[in-house]
Amino acid sequence: MLKRHVSISLRLTLLYGIIFFSGWVLFGTAMWLNLRHTLTGERYQTLARRVDRLQDLLLAGLNEDEVDRRQDFQDFARATGNGLIEVFGSDGTRAYPSPSPSASAFPWPAVEGNVHERFLHLSSSGQSYWVLVRPFTLGGQPVILLAAAPETGNLLVLQSFWRGLIASAPILLLIACGAGYWVSRRALRPVDRITATARSISIGNLSDRLPVSSTGDELQRLAETCNAMLGRLESAVSQIKQFTADASHELRGPLSFTRTVAEVALRNPDADPASRRAFEDIVDETSKASILLEQMFTLARADSESFDRAMELVTLAAVVEEACTMARPLAEERGLTLSVAGVAGDLTKVLGDFPSLRRLLWILIDNALKYTEAPGTIEVKLQSNPACATLSVSDSGIGIAPKDLPYIFDRFYRADPSRSMVEGNGLGLAIAKWIADMHHAELTVASEEFRGSTFQLIFPFRRDR
């Protein structure tokens, strides 16, 4: 579920941050272990040098009396390591008196028997110490030299290092995530350009192509592949458009001839009732087919973006009056009330083609007539303000289901079965939308089932008018 809602850039940033953090933890741990090993080695070298000097002192004191030897030993102990030095015999007893109370109370390791040099870690009074144990021969007698040093300094250094690592983690992680996001966005910038261009390509501009970067990478191959696919789609759609336009044009003649023959046959007084009904059906069906062909031909022109009408200033009130004049007889015949609001005295003009705008409004009114049952109402309203002019057609008909609203302007789209029972081929609103687009107007619909629909056409005014 996370991948459906999180962008690739953010996922790459999180992955980069996790990898960096894991690497930082491993690096920090390795550095901490290395530092501890280094500090331990230095502590060993310090104690080893101290024991070496003690050996030299003991060897130099062999020719002195016992009092002087002990005094030299105590002076040396006090001068180094806070007095934590001892000399034991092979039986575990002290060969020299403890040089200090701290040395006397220190828990020295057992040294009886054969002893080899050792470097030990032990605790005393809640503190950690390192102890060096070294066997030595003094005057022909085996003795054991011991020296201890606290680990407090080492622990302070390790703790300071660890706190520094933890304190720097958020800053480094933030820098790493920021750098990762910047790198990912930079790497995916061509994808954003490809996405934006792909979203803008529709059936009306299949000639557009995706931008191709000469990088030789996967993105270049993807863009080139998509462009090749768009080329094939453009060719196929062009063939379909051409076929539709040619077929619509070529079928006009046969349909007109068939309708004319049927109408002539109906004028024959000697025609029997069955033949007359058949000829009437032929006239009705050819009329419907002619309307369908005309609409298909119109949409074929729409696909080729050809609008060969000259644009001029058109008074919207005049468009409303003509369209409503055409619709009133049908409304009265079906028991509907057709009302007009905001037209009287309105001189609002827009740049457009009068017949096309009249056709657009007629499609909207005809749509309302079809889907409104008696005694329903249909209202055509014209409003204007400094920013735009608004033309709306409202009815009290059966309405449109919410699931159908996004597709109501699609070609050949028919809504639920209750609406499909009304005559129509699903092309009228598609043509209305095309005419609106050609006039740079916005055609929208709002509807509620069993409460009616409102189609609204908005003409924005140019600022330089």
Domain with CATH 3.30.450.20 in the chain: 2-157
Round to whole Å and give the CA distance between 399 and 430: 18
Separation of CA 219 from chain center: 18
Round to whole Å and give the CA distance between 394 and 371: 11
Maximal CA-CA distance, the chain = 164
The secondary structure of residue 426, as a DSSP letter, is S
Tokens of 47: 């104690």
- pLDDT of residue 307 exceeding 70, the answer is no
Residue 69's pLDDT is 84
Buried b (16+ CB within 10 A) or exposed e, 256-289: eebbeebeebeeeeeeeeeeeeebeebbeebeeb
- Of 195-204, 298-307, 361-370, highest mean pLDDT: 361-370
Round to whole Å and give the CA distance between 280 and 277: 5
CATH of 312-460, one of 3.40.718.10, 3.60.20.10, 3.50.50.60, 3.30.565.10: 3.30.565.10
**% the chain with pLDDT above 90:** 28
Band (308; pLDDT cuts 50, 70, 90) = low
Rg value, the chain, Cα:
49
Q: What is the pLDDT of residues 266-299, one digit of tens each?
A: 888 877 888 888 878 888 888 777 766 676 666 6
The letter for the amino acid at 174 is L
Any long-range contacts for 120-125 (C-beta under 8 Å, 24+ apart)? 121/151
The 3-state secondary structure of 355-414 reads HHHHHHHHHHHHHHHHCCCCCCEEEEEEEECCCEEEEEEEECCCCCCCCCHHHCCCCCCC
Is 394 within 8 Å of 454 (Cβ atoms)? yes
Residue 465's pLDDT is 45
Indicate the length of the chain as a whole number. Answer: 465
Round to whole Å and give the CA distance between 186 and 165: 30
Q: What is the pLDDT of residues 203-229, one digit of tens each?
A: 667 788 888 878 777 878 888 888 888
Q: Which burial class, exposed, middle or buried, applies to 412 when counting CB atoms under 10 A from its CB (0-12, 13-18, 19+)?
A: exposed
Is 431 within 8 Å of 363 (Cβ atoms)? yes
Residue 271's pLDDT is 78
Q: What is the pLDDT of residues 106-157, one digit of tens each?
A: 888 888 767 788 898 888 888 899 999 999 988 888 889 999 988 888 888 8
The secondary structure of residue 134, as a DSSP letter, is E
CA-based end-to-end distance of the chain? 52
Residue 305's pLDDT is 58
Round to whole Å and give the CA distance between 286 and 308: 27
Q: Which burial class, exposed, middle or buried, applies to 201 when counting CB atoms under 10 A from its CB (0-12, 13-18, 19+)?
A: middle
Residue 460's pLDDT is 92
Is 382 within 8 Å of 341 (Cβ atoms)? yes
- pLDDT of residue 1 exceeding 50, the answer is no
Band (10; pLDDT cuts 50, 70, 90) = confident
Candidate from 116-130, 207-221, 234-248, 361-375 with smallest mean pLDDT: 234-248
Residue 378's pLDDT is 96
Residue 340's pLDDT is 94
- pLDDT of residue 417 exceeding 60, the answer is no
Please, what is the Cα angle at 395 between 394 and 401, to 5 degrees? 100
Domain with CATH 3.30.565.10 in the chain: 312-460
- Domain made up of 2-157: CATH architecture: 2-Layer Sandwich (3.30)
- Of 176-190, 249-263, 265-279, 327-341, highest mean pLDDT: 327-341
Question: Can you tell me whether residue 204 is helix, strand or coil?
Answer: coil
Q: Which burial class, exposed, middle or buried, applies to 432 when counting CB atoms under 10 A from its CB (0-12, 13-18, 19+)?
A: buried
Buried b (16+ CB within 10 A) or exposed e, 227-245: beebeeebeeeeeebeebb
Tokens of 68: 């002087």
Q: Quick one: how many helices (H) and strands (E) in the chain? A: 11, 11
Q: What is the pLDDT of residues 80-100, one digit of tens each?
A: 767 789 898 888 888 888 888
**Orientation angle between helical segments 8-60 and 152-200, nearest 10 degrees:** 160
Residue 422's pLDDT is 57
Q: What is the pLDDT of residues 439-450, one digit of tens each?
A: 999 999 999 988
Domain with CATH 1.10.287.130 in the chain: 218-303
Higher-scoring residue by pLDDT: 293, 39: 39
Mean pLDDT of 19-40: 89
Round to whole Å and give the CA distance between 252 and 298: 13
Tokens of 452: 């009616």
Is 394 within 8 Å of 381 (Cβ atoms)? yes
CATH of 218-303, one of 2.60.40.10, 1.10.3720.10, 3.30.310.220, 1.10.287.130: 1.10.287.130
Round to whole Å and give the CA distance between 77 and 19: 52
Is 299 within 8 Å of 237 (Cβ atoms)? no
